[in-house]
Structure 1
Amino acid sequence: MPLKRPTAIAGLLLALVPAAATLSSCGFDYPTDRVNTIAAGVNNRDGEVKALGIRVLATAKGEGRLIGALVNNGTDDASLTEVSSPSGISAGEFEPIEVAPNGTVNLAHSEPQVPLTGDFTAGNVVTLEFTFSNGQSFSLDVPVVKRCFQYTEIPTEAPSSSHTEKAKGGSEDGAAADAAADEEGGHDDATDPNFSCADEAPSPGGGEAH
Structure 2
Amino acid sequence: MYQGNNPTALQSQRWIAESLIALMQEKPYSQITIQNICKRADLSRQTFYNTFSSREEVLRFCLREQYMQQFQRFDTKPMISLRETVEAFTSVLDGNRVLLQSMLDNHLESIITDEIAKCVSLFANRFVSHRDDSLPYSEALLSGALAHLLLCWFQQPQPISIQALTELLSAFLSGQLYIFEPDQDDPVPPGSSPQR
TM-score scaled by length of structure 1 = 0.26
| Structure with the larger helix share | 2
* TM superposition score normalised by structure 2: 0.27
